[in-house]
Amino acid sequence: MWGAVVTSILRRAVPGGGTGPSADPAARLPSGVRVRRPVLAMASVGLVAASIAVFVGIASHASRRVDVLTVVQPVAQGQTIVASDLGTDTISTTGTLATVTVADAAGVLGRVAAVPLVPGSLLVAADVASVPVIQAGSAVVGLALKDGQLPSSGVSAGETVMVVQTAAPGAAVSTAPPVVAAGMAGLPSTGSSGGTGSLAPSGGSTGVLVPSALVVATAAPPTSSSGSTTELVSVEVAAPVAADVSVAAAAGQVSLVLVPSGGRGA
């Protein structure tokens, strides 16, 4: 009896003995069926690749930061932009806003504002114009001035001046109460100017022609000029008074007085 038991144990222990669980297919543990799904595998790879591309795009976009110009002082339309009007900031570029970079600042200074510039805003290319923008109801008059007709240091674009009609050389000085043109610098109209907008009556009278005019451009006279003109100045005045200023300037009876502008952009 014991011999039969030992023989049975040995047969179970020897591989290929014809007995035991290894010899009985039904006794084996079931193995998982491996089914290959190439479409699913390719979709997974594509999803991973797309995720990587999106991540790289976001990281690249965030890293494109540039230094741009901002507005720190109010600048009225038509006024010349100077360095004190601008500041800098660093932003991420979006490609939808045509900001002006710090590297391009030299191309902005000395040009004029095409629109009113508000402090705290980014300066964009459309905010800047190459030529003065004449506001509705205004006109630009050219003046050829010599020493004594303007401050000794001259005037610069963007400054505010008072235009005064002076007496003709050798003529008796006849002053008249200043007559302020309506719409000029927010001052009320007083007296009568015959509807021309002139502040000083025509003829030999003297007085203020324009209490507040914007200097839009200046230039030195040509070297070939034989006259005594020292500076060419263009001023923006109200259209009704432009003719009077031009006539007085042609007669050499105009002088400029530098006055406060009340703050840039006022």
Domains along the sequence of the chain with CATH: 63-129 (3.90.1210.10), 138-259 (no CATH)
Choose among 125, 119, 129: nearest CA to 71. Answer: 119
Share of the chain above pLDDT 90, in %: 16
Question: What is the band of 87 on the pLDDT scale with cuts at 50, 70, 90?
Answer: very high
In the chain, the amino acid numbered 199 is: L
| 3-7, 59-63, 104-108, 187-191: the lowest-pLDDT one | 187-191
- Phi/psi for 108 (5° steps) reads -105, -40
Share of the chain above pLDDT 70, in %: 61
Question: What is the band of 146 on the pLDDT scale with cuts at 50, 70, 90?
Answer: confident
**CA angle, 166 then 159 then 187, to 5°:** 65
159-178 pLDDT, tens per residue? Answer: 889 999 988 766 655 555 54
| 30-34, 94-98, 223-227, 246-250: the lowest-pLDDT one | 30-34
Looking at residue 99, its pLDDT comes to 87
CA 73 to chain centre: 12
Looking at residue 245, its pLDDT comes to 93
| 61-70, 92-101, 189-198: the lowest-pLDDT one | 189-198
pLDDT at 30 over 70: no
49-75 pLDDT, tens per residue? Answer: 777 766 656 655 555 778 899 999 998
What is the rounded average pLDDT of the residues 194-217? Answer: 66
* Position with higher pLDDT, 107 vs 13: 107
The residues pairing with 119 across neighbouring beta strands, listed in sequence order, are none
Average pLDDT score over the chain: 73
CA 102 to chain centre: 11
Which distant-in-sequence residues (6+ apart) come within 8 Å of 204 by Cβ?
Answer: 167, 168, 171, 172, 174
Q: Tell me the pairing of strands 205-219 and 174-175.
A: parallel
What is the rounded average pLDDT of the residues 108-125? Answer: 87
In the chain, the amino acid numbered 143 is: L
Looking at residue 86, its pLDDT comes to 92
Q: How far is CA 211 from CA 3, 77, 120, in A?
A: 135, 19, 31
